[in-house]
Structure formats: C-alpha cells, structure tokens
Structure 1
Amino acid sequence: MDQPKGIIPWFANNPVAANLLLILVISLGVLNMGSLNKEAFPSLTPNRVAISVSNDTGSAKENEEGIAIPLEQALQGVSGIKNITTSSTASATSTSIEMLDGYDIDILLADVKDKVDQISSFPDEADPAVVTKATREEHSIWIQLYGDVDRRTLQKLTDELESDLLANENISATSISGWLDPTIKIDIDKNKLESYGLTLSDIATAINAESSLHKWQRCAMNIFI
C-alpha cells in the first residue's frame, strides 16, 4: 500500500522529530516571554480630532446655534473626514471628527485648525477653540466612597481625594460620577416684592448674576494614567 504523503503523516512516522520540534517551540516561547509587550489597553494610533469651545452662556441651544452649527458648516468638504459628531451644553461645545482609514492624522489636524481659525462668527464671550488629536486614556482603577454620612461630607472627601490623586505625576485625569451640585430653594413673598417695586424677573436676574460668580467646576471616580 502507498504511504500517505505530507507533513502530518511524516511527523506521525517520526515521533522523535515531532517531539524535538515541540521542545524547540516551547523553548523559544519561554526565552522570549520576558520581551513581549504586555498592555491591558494597548496604545492605539489616534484616528480622531477633537474640538472644544468653552462658552458659559447657560443655554445649550445658544451654543449649538452660535458654535456647533458654524463649526460643522466650516468643516464640510475637508478631506479625510469620515464622520463629525457635535454636542453642546450650557457651558461648552465639543466636536469629535473621525478620520478616514489610511489618512494622515497630522494633515487632518492641520486642515481642521485652518478651517476653525477662519470662523469669525463665534460669540464674543466664547473662549478660543482648542483643536487636538484625540488620544485614548488608559483606565487604571475605580474608587468608590461610601459611608453612614451625608452626601455633602462624601463629596468633600471626594474633592480632597481627587486633589491628592492629581498631585501624582503618573495620573493624568480623573472622572467623578454621582456628583450633585448644591441647590437652593428661594420662597418669595409677593406682597413684599411689590412693595419694593420688584418683579420675579428682577429676582431671577440678580440670582443668575451672583451665581455665575460662584459656579462649581467638576471634571466630567475613574482614574486614568
């Protein structure tokens, strides 16, 4: 009978060679184990450009109309753009630009900066636009604070912990969840209000003017390195 041909039948008929090859493969793996690059979240080449414009108007609609729409219109036709995602809040507008596969991120960044610099219709109160390559942050750990105390105490401890963590040069940013800003309820006596010749709009304007001087700023506890 003809013997089967091929590498598998050959090794089946030569077990010593098969064992030697197995030992060689294992030995090479053990020798190179220490030089392998091990990462929980491997670094990826940036494929997005981020634009951030701060403008504390108190209205997400105003930022959408005054910043988001002009941004998207200015970026139309720029080469290398796959998708544009824009979101506006009462204090800022953020735009994420996804790059086409194979395009040069540095060229896209330069083109986007050039288009953004040409926009002259942003509100006067808005801060200059910040255009950067969006990089992936490497998540490190979660920390949860809890205890038989009120929320104000927990938030104070969280604030102190965040400051201590950010003092470490290996920690680039933190992200806090579950944070609630303090709120104040104001009851108004309408008779006294009328006696002073004031309206509810006058009270609201005065409160908004004062509160804008004391806004609480918090990074939007995850820790990144």
Structure 2
Amino acid sequence: MSVRTPITWFVKNPVATNLLMMIFLAGGFISYLNLNQEEFPDVDFGIVQVSVAYLGATPDEAESAICLRIEEALEGAEDIDRLTSTAREGGCDATIELTSGADLNRVLNDVKGKIDAVSTFPIEAEQPIIRAFSASGNVMTLALSSNTDDAGLKLVAEQIRNDILDLDGISTVNMLTCDHSRFRLRSLKRLCVNMD
C-alpha cells in the first residue's frame, strides 16, 4: 500500500509542477512591479519627545524643576500610554508613547499646549522643544561661523546646501539658522538686566 503525498503527486506530474512554478514566478514579478517604493516613507512611531535645557542644573535640580512639572502637566492627557522622563545634567528629556491608533498630530498639539501652559519652569530654563519622533536621522551635521553679518553667512550656507544637493545620492539637506539677538536678550535676562 503506497502513501500518496503532495510531493509524490508533484513528482509524477512534472507538467503541473512546472506550470504552478511559472504561476508563482509571474505573480512574484507582477507584485514586484507594483511594489510601492518610497525614499523616505512616512512612518508614524507614535512617540512624542519633549526636551528642556536647564543649563548648569544638576540631575536632581532638573528632575524637581523640569521633569516633575512635565509629568504634572501631562497627567490625565488623552491617548498617552506611557510617559518616561529622564533628568540629566543640564536639562530633562521626556518620551511620550501614544496608545495604538492615536492621532499623532492631535496629541502633539495637545502636548504642546499643555507644556506651553506650564508657568512654573525656572526662568533659566530654555524654551521646551516638542516634536514627534522621526525615523530620519542626520548623516552629517555641519556648522558655520564667521565674523561677517548673519545675512552674508546665510548666503554662504545656502550655496553650500545647493552644492551638497547637487551631489549624487543626496536627497534632502536641512538648514537651521540662528538669531543672535535672541541669545543676547536671554543672556541679559539671566543677568537680571532690564531693557527699559
């Protein structure tokens, strides 16, 4: 008595085996041609990050002055699954994990509103940086400085950005500029100098 297995059937019917193999190959080729390809796919990790710089603060000072204030502000907020804050020397970082299916943009705006409403941050603390976690990281970071005015430096930076974009394999170049007058005002504010 012989046992009939699928392998035995395929061995005895080579035409059907080859036909089935051709169907699978054609289906795979058609699927490959229709495959959606993106250089930078929009991936939603469901994570919001909050960073607050508090220069000169110890981790204990950052925890009591920044981390606890962030946790209190976000307590009871909708669509937050987990909040983890880390006090470090010179500031605090908080990571907010959203519940499954939460609208990232709505939660991001909600978090920004709640953090901006905190009035008990120390005066020495920098403005909170609130952003959605992104998969795109920097490959390289360049910094420019000069004794010339900001407008001239910005023109040079734009020229460098355009030159880098002309290179093969480069798709995006982000340029951040700095407003020195804002830093001067903050420095004066820290020294309790009145502008009046």
| CA-CA distance at 1:136 after TM superposition | 2.0
| CA-CA distance at 1:90 after TM superposition | 2.2
CA distance in structure 1 between the aligned counterparts of 2:65 and 2:123, rounded to whole angstroms: 10
Corresponding residue number in structure 2 for 1:108: 107
Q: Which runs of 5+ in 1 are unaligned?
A: 142-160, 173-225
Q: Secondary structure at the match of 2:126?
A: coil
| CA-CA distance at 1:7 after TM superposition | 8.4
The amino acid of 1:60's aligned partner reads P
| CA-CA distance at 1:29 after TM superposition | 2.2
Q: Secondary structure at the match of 1:65?
A: helix
* Residues 85 and 93, structure 2, Cα contact 8 Å, conserved in 1: yes
CA distance in structure 1 between the aligned counterparts of 2:46 and 2:30, rounded to whole angstroms: 35
CA distance in structure 1 between the aligned counterparts of 2:116 and 2:37, rounded to whole angstroms: 41
Corresponding residue number in structure 2 for 1:48: 47
2:73 counterpart of 1:74: yes
CA distance in structure 1 between the aligned counterparts of 2:138 and 2:33, rounded to whole angstroms: 24
Q: Secondary structure at the match of 2:52?
A: strand
CA distance in structure 2 between the aligned counterparts of 1:14 and 1:106, rounded to whole angstroms: 58
* Residues 57 and 63, structure 1, Cα contact 8 Å, conserved in 2: no
Q: Which runs of 5+ in 2 are unaligned?
A: 145-159, 166-171, 175-196
2:115 counterpart of 1:88: no
Based on CA coordinates, which of the two structures has the bigger radius of gyration?
1
Q: Secondary structure at the match of 2:70?
A: helix
Corresponding residue number in structure 1 for 2:120: 121
**Deviations 1:154-187 (CA, angstroms, capped at 9, x unpaired):** xxxxxxx9659x9656477xxxxxxxxxxxxxxx
* Residues 57 and 91, structure 2, Cα contact 8 Å, conserved in 1: no
CA distance in structure 2 between the aligned counterparts of 1:33 and 1:139, rounded to whole angstroms: 30
Q: Secondary structure at the match of 2:113?
A: helix
CA distance in structure 1 between the aligned counterparts of 2:34 and 2:55, rounded to whole angstroms: 50
Q: Secondary structure at the match of 1:116?
A: helix
CA distance in structure 2 between the aligned counterparts of 1:128 and 1:78, rounded to whole angstroms: 21
The amino acid of 2:130's aligned partner reads V
| CA-CA distance at 1:16 after TM superposition | 1.7
CA distance in structure 1 between the aligned counterparts of 2:101 and 2:57, rounded to whole angstroms: 40
| CA-CA distance at 1:97 after TM superposition | 0.2
Aligned length: 155
Corresponding residue number in structure 2 for 1:220: none
Corresponding residue number in structure 2 for 1:29: 28
| CA-CA distance at 1:33 after TM superposition | 3.6
2:64 counterpart of 1:65: yes
CA distance in structure 1 between the aligned counterparts of 2:28 and 2:49, rounded to whole angstroms: 41
